[in-house]
Structure 1
Amino acid sequence: MIGKSTDCDWTIQTVHSWLQSCRPDHDMCSHVSAMVNDWHPTRLVDLGPNRNSIYWTLYSTQEDGSLRMPVIYMALSYRWGANKLRLLNSTLAEFRKGTISIHQLPQTFQDFSFLAKRFGVRYLWIDALCIIQDSARDWEIESLRMRQVYANSVCTIAASASTNEQEGLFRVRTNLDGVLPGLIQIPVTPLSSQDQRQMVPFYIFDDEVWESSIYQSPLHRRGWAFQEQYLSPRMLYFTGNQVFWECIQGGRRCEGFPNGISPYAGILRQNGRVWNLKQQLQRLQDNGGFTDMSTRVWCDLVTVYSRCDLTNPEDRLPAFAGLAKFFAEKVGDDYVAGHWKSRLLRDLCWTRDDIEAVTKPQASHMRRIASWSWASIIDVPVYYAYPWDLSEDYPYDYLTNIVQVQVKPQANDDVFGPLSGDFLALHGVPLEKSVTFSEGVVCKDGICGVPMTTSSERSVNSQLPSPLAWCLDNPLEPDSEIALEKQTYLLPLKTSLCCGGGFYIQSLVLTPTVDSCAFPNTRCFTRVGLVTEHMWKGSDLAGFCPRQDGVMIFDESTRARMELITIV
């Protein structure tokens, strides 16, 4: 029977049975680990062969030699707090002596150790104890190995209900009745009138329990926890009232539904997009290139991840690195500052995702990351703004060409980690505009932004058509100039037919920068936003001409004005 606490015998035996049934029988779950076979972390917490021992030691494969393969270990996903017991250069020798008691660890680490011993798992991976926290070099190396750490973990344990490492894994249930579904009998008349009316059992349960217990929990708003969830083939979530299980092949279970949650239940429908996203990611073929499926998966990953919180905004790319590496194996493409080289022109069409923040000056560009990367803005979610491109019914073309893209890793030549000195060289037509705000937010064809008034004598068309959908990366106050230099440029990037017989043009919003350009005698810009101009079929647009399929492209006079520019 279910006990009052999530560490009761029934709970531990039940969740252990889920793990035991998955490991030998689920090929998809095992395949994730097999992709990085014969690998183990640099360091592991060793609980020792004796389950009754209260001491632990830090095992280092660099100093102690490799362990026998395969190494069975569990990883911990949790929120950091003010814990002072961390691996430092000064504590490294002490951690390796094996004289520190498990009871000296923060409560979450203690509970994690207890659970591992009950499962018969000797080794643990906890970032605070396995990465030297005061060594920038070690942090850079180890943080870029998260893809292997979590993919190879036999199971990742999530302290979902805890705001820090002192609060523990286990909880006294606040509502024991809320764990088990209610059961009622309802009289039902069969379709055939010859059959007698009969009593049919129905379950009653909270169909938002997964959302409220996991996705709205303190842990899962944390940016670093995002990839931990998506990279792990098996997850156990310890929440405030019950324990949940998730694996790629076997689906989801919880203490209320220990044999599995029906796919027709609202519990899964509430988060079907997130759940399906994890399954779709794991099912992508290695080196399969970009397909409609992989494109949608990547776009959704970026959007969901960008909603998470990060204590250090500069971790925006490192905290996503493991997932990006996994995806790179699937599509076989080069990763460039959160985008993919083969589709960089399309990927430049990203924008802020929340309507409310469009009019608020909350976000800012991180100078260490190129402004053309979605990772450069903080505090707001982003999404890729090309909703029609994934269908052949809406042909499109690009109005700009990429000449060169450069990303410069800060360490280890790893393009998935922190970057500096990135630039993008383009061949296009920057159009100077004078732009001011008007009030309100406009949504058109699924793209939302701030309408603006524009004027220019040097643009291809002196008055841009309406409606406009403006989304600035870092909005200013209404009726203010968009740029300090009082110069704004639109760089037409892409044109496409769309639903309803119209077409649209997407342009980057740029401002000049004093940064030195990568190429001499060229102009250098910073991205500040994206604008989508939607026009109806037959619209007269100076400087453009229709292609045979109806897509609007530059005419000869406009193409003659194309120049080489750099965006940093």
Structure 2
Amino acid sequence: MVSEELNIGLLWIDSLCIVQDDDDDKASEITSMPLIYSQATVTIAASRARNVQEGFLQDRPLMGLETADTVFELPFQDSSGNYEIGSVILLPPTDEVIEPLDHRGWSMQERFLSRRILEYGTHQTRWTCHEYMNSNAPADGFKSTRVYNNKRSDYLFIRGLEVVMTEADANRALDPVKFEAHLRFWHHLLRVYTDRSLSLSTDRLPGVSGIAALFAEVLQDTYYAGLWKSRLATELLWTRSSSSGSKLAMRPTEYQGPSWSWAGINGSVQEMILPKSEAADNDFKVIDCQIHIRGRAPQPLKGHFGAVDSAKLIISGRLQTAELRRETSSLEPVEIQFPRTLSGKLKGILAARVTLDCIQQGPATSSGNPAEVFLLKVIAGPDNARGLVLRRTQQGEYSRIGTFTLGFGYAAGFESESLDTSRKRYDRDFAWLGRGDLQTITII
């Protein structure tokens, strides 16, 4: 009906135009998402609808009558000389309205890639395009200006698309400053995206693949199942976001990405942005990355997009054996310990902060007894060392279970140490970490 009123004869609906139970068709169409949305005349967003049965063209609820909000209408007399009696309406604060569509993972890609959006919201019908990026963009309803939405981030998406498309069209090498700016922009989008939900958790990579394909052209970089090749050392240090709460979720039972990628878990994540003084450890090297994409769709040369069936990251670096211990009442590890001596005694506690990715089957995150883990040093700075916490699989490969940061006072009970004592402890622990065997391992 909307497209007919706009006199647009062709309408694309992804749930109908993509064969949902055909992996090959989904993989093929997903790679076309940047073209479909960026070249569409307009994208119609049914933001107010909670599901496909609810619809979005029905009458909106009346403020104060059909909603819990209170609306006041007060008499008003014009003092300009006409002295006409009228009325003014006082509305409750509505600086932010979170729409049902704003919680869905797939909708972020649609909004980012679209040049023009006609959005049917709970209280407003809004128009968004390059010409209207501020709060004065056209909108109807109970407020003369468009309501702000942090999850929707209209300005970020529209302005970001304009900049990214300009760089992609230019097809020239980015200077380092612009490269870092676009990489930070990607990280921001990733935080917004992973904070949303998906009906199928296996869509975690496909749901952002259109944006990733666009950024691959802009960054002129290779995409490794959610991470960028040129920054792989820091990209590997993503962590579960604190905004997800302290409660750990179970690792998904169905494969949705490798353990070394944020796609392998659910929930919000944040990328590691390091100070310039910290760089990849001299012994850390990425030797190869083997990714098998689901379906038979041809993949771009600069990356692997879409759902991943399997992925292996082959890395060379310093690997140290340690023990992970946590209390029964806590899902977070309390401490990482040096391995036991021949006499069976522990050599001490490592001054490291550990963030687990999720709850996993097996002893690596069991409570009470310590479990054997392996620390892979990735970043080495003057005052910090960062890396991955791994466990070994039965096949002799490794799986990521979290990250660690070695630094002053990071371990429980060390916060009150003097600066001199903390420095000595860090130097000891850093030296121990550097004595790990130089190995070539495969992380799945």
Q: Same fold (TM over 0.5)?
A: yes
Of 25, 28, 37 in structure 2, the residue corresponding to residue 141 of structure 1 is 28
The number of residue pairs the alignment matches comes to 396
- Assess, with a 3 A threshold, how the Cα gap between structure 1 residues 422 and 270 changes in structure 2: closer, same or farther: closer
Residue 319 of structure 2 is aligned to residue 430 of structure 1: yes
Q: Does the 8 A contact of 2:239 with 2:355 survive in 1?
A: no
Residue 423 of structure 2 is aligned to residue 567 of structure 1: no
Q: Does the 8 A contact of 2:385 with 2:430 survive in 1?
A: no
Percent identical: 24
**Paired position in structure 1 for 2:335:** 452
Give the Å deviation of 1:257.
8.6
- Assess, with a 3 A threshold, how the Cα gap between structure 1 residues 408 and 137 changes in structure 2: closer, same or farther: closer
Q: Which runs of 5+ in 2 are unaligned?
A: 77-87, 410-418
Superposition map of 1:165-204 within 5 A: 165-175=52-62
- Assess, with a 3 A threshold, how the Cα gap between structure 1 residues 303 and 483 changes in structure 2: closer, same or farther: farther
Three-state SS of the structure 1 residue aligned to 2:292 is: coil
What per-residue deviation string (whole Å, max 9, x for no partner) do you get for residues 528-553 of structure 1? 111222227762323746xxxxxxx9
Three-state SS of the structure 2 residue aligned to 1:150 is: helix
Q: Does the 8 A contact of 2:324 with 2:364 survive in 1?
A: no
- Assess, with a 3 A threshold, how the Cα gap between structure 1 residues 376 and 472 changes in structure 2: closer, same or farther: closer
- Assess, with a 3 A threshold, how the Cα gap between structure 1 residues 204 and 332 changes in structure 2: closer, same or farther: farther
**Paired position in structure 1 for 2:11:** 124
Following the alignment from structure 1 to structure 2, what is the Cα–Cα distance between the partners of residues 511 and 479? Answer: 7
Of 237, 248, 255 in structure 2, the residue corresponding to residue 360 of structure 1 is 248
**Paired position in structure 2 for 1:292:** 180
**Paired position in structure 1 for 2:83:** none
Alpha carbon RMSD of aligned pairs, Å? 3.8
Residue 404 of structure 2 is aligned to residue 531 of structure 1: yes
Give the Å deviation of 1:473.
3.0
Residue 219 of structure 2 is aligned to residue 331 of structure 1: yes
**Paired position in structure 2 for 1:21:** none
Give the Å deviation of 1:404.
1.2
Q: Which has the higher contact order (CA 8 A, sep 6+)?
A: 2
Following the alignment from structure 1 to structure 2, what is the Cα–Cα distance between the partners of residues 315 and 370? Answer: 14
Following the alignment from structure 2 to structure 1, what is the Cα–Cα distance between the partners of residues 150 and 198? Answer: 25
Give the Å deviation of 1:312.
1.6
**Paired position in structure 2 for 1:511:** 391
- Assess, with a 3 A threshold, how the Cα gap between structure 1 residues 524 and 184 changes in structure 2: closer, same or farther: farther
Following the alignment from structure 1 to structure 2, what is the Cα–Cα distance between the partners of residues 181 and 145? Answer: 49
Q: Does the 8 A contact of 1:180 with 1:257 survive in 2?
A: no
Following the alignment from structure 1 to structure 2, what is the Cα–Cα distance between the partners of residues 397 and 248? Answer: 39
Give the Å deviation of 1:115.
1.6
- Assess, with a 3 A threshold, how the Cα gap between structure 1 residues 138 and 514 changes in structure 2: closer, same or farther: same
Give the Å deviation of 1:128.
3.2
Give the Å deviation of 1:354.
3.6
Q: Which runs of 5+ in 1 are unaligned?
A: 1-113, 186-201, 262-266, 443-448, 498-502, 516-522, 546-552
What per-residue deviation string (whole Å, max 9, x for no partner) do you get for residues 336-370 of structure 1? 10111111111000111146654434343753521
Of 255, 261, 270 in structure 2, the residue corresponding to residue 373 of structure 1 is 261
Per the normalisation by structure 1, the TM-score is 0.61
- Counterpart code for 1:139: K
Three-state SS of the structure 2 residue aligned to 1:291 is: helix
- Counterpart code for 1:405: C
What per-residue deviation string (whole Å, max 9, x for no partner) do you get for residues 375-409 of structure 1? 0112x1111133x43xx4x4434252111112122
Give the Å deviation of 1:278.
4.5
What per-residue deviation string (whole Å, max 9, x for no partner) do you get for residues 462-494 of structure 1? 535436242333368999637999421111111
- Assess, with a 3 A threshold, how the Cα gap between structure 1 residues 203 and 223 changes in structure 2: closer, same or farther: same
**Paired position in structure 1 for 2:379:** 494
- Counterpart code for 1:416: F
Following the alignment from structure 1 to structure 2, what is the Cα–Cα distance between the partners of residues 477 and 369? Answer: 19
